Amino acid sequence: MSETLAAFGTLLRRLFARRGAALSLIFLGLVALTAIFAGLLPLDPLAQSVADSLKPPSAENWFGTDELGRDILARVVYGARTSLVTAFGAVFIAALIGVPIGLVAGFYGDWRDSILMRCIDVLLALPNILFAMALIAVLGRSQGAALIAVGIAGIPGFARIARAQVMALRQLDFVMAVRGFGGRPSYIMFRTILPNALSPLVVQAIVLASIAILLEAALAFLGVGVPPPTPSWGEMLRTGKSYLYEAPSYAVLPGLVLTLTILSFDTIGRALTALLDHDETDASGATVGGRR
């Protein structure tokens, strides 16, 4: 446990050494904290006052108000809850299903690999937005349905990455040693190979989180996402575009927060990829040097 925490702390320090990744981590930390502790803030996303509708940003309403007089900042803060819950829930579902599929397919490499990968190919062939809309049509319009739809759409990414990692690691000496000592396939897959394949899976989780937030916003923008009056960034964009000339802040400011959130996840994912590639290059160089 202490070694894991130490490795995590080292990774955070290396990320903070990169300006873009540091700014992204700080921004996402602020978004997450405001979403978690929104109930402690003097913000009410549902309070209406028609007399105060479509007001521009002011000292009282920093982001202005919408067509019902609701505070846009309050709805942006509570909308962060919707987006982050959808993102992390989707990542959990996709990893929970996709990683075991990839492990089994890559480890055995026989008819199980063919069947599982054909199923994954079917999911890959379906456009994410259309698949999510079809699933929501079956399950009904709710945050849970949106979360499940986005999560299932993310399964192929985890499955293919896990499969590729297993195929690269299964013939290495430490895996063959566990085989030689009579390790069961489940033990080898989940206790030996998986811990050594976590790095690209973590990067995939971060990338999928950004995709999930964008997809949830897109579903809400199309009118099939989280039903109102639940705050949603996509829903605010959909409604705000009708008042773009009267109250540009209505759509622009939630859209800006959405864009910065997605860019922050993407920046962190790219920084992690660069760090991991650098570590692998150094490890390869050290191995070659040792052989010489």
Q: Under a CB-based contact definition with an 8 Å cutoff, are residues 176 and 144 in contact?
A: no
**Per-residue b/e over 252-291, b at no fewer than 16 CB within 10 Å?**
ebbbebbeebbebbbbbbbbbeebeeeeeeeeeeeeeeee
CB atoms within 10 A of CB 130: 10
pLDDT tens digits along 234-259: 999 999 988 888 888 888 999 999 99
Model pTM score: 0.86
Average pLDDT over residues 80-98: 92
Quote the CA–CA distance of 287 and 143 in Å, as a whole number. Answer: 49
Place of tokens 């896990």: 162
Mean model confidence pLDDT for the chain = 86
Percent of the chain scored above 70 by pLDDT? Answer: 92
- Cα separation values, 172 from 26, 56, 168, 169, Å: 39, 63, 8, 5
Alpha-carbon distances of 126 from 27, 129, 287, rounded to whole Å: 33, 9, 42
d(CA 195, CA 240): 46
Q: Is the pLDDT of residue 291 over 60?
A: no
| 2 — pLDDT class (breaks 50, 70, 90) | low
Nearest to 220 by CA among 122, 82, 119: 82
The domain 11-291 having CATH identifier 2.40.50.140: the answer here is: no
Domain ranges (residues) in the chain: 11-291
Residue 288 clears pLDDT 50, i.e. is over it = no
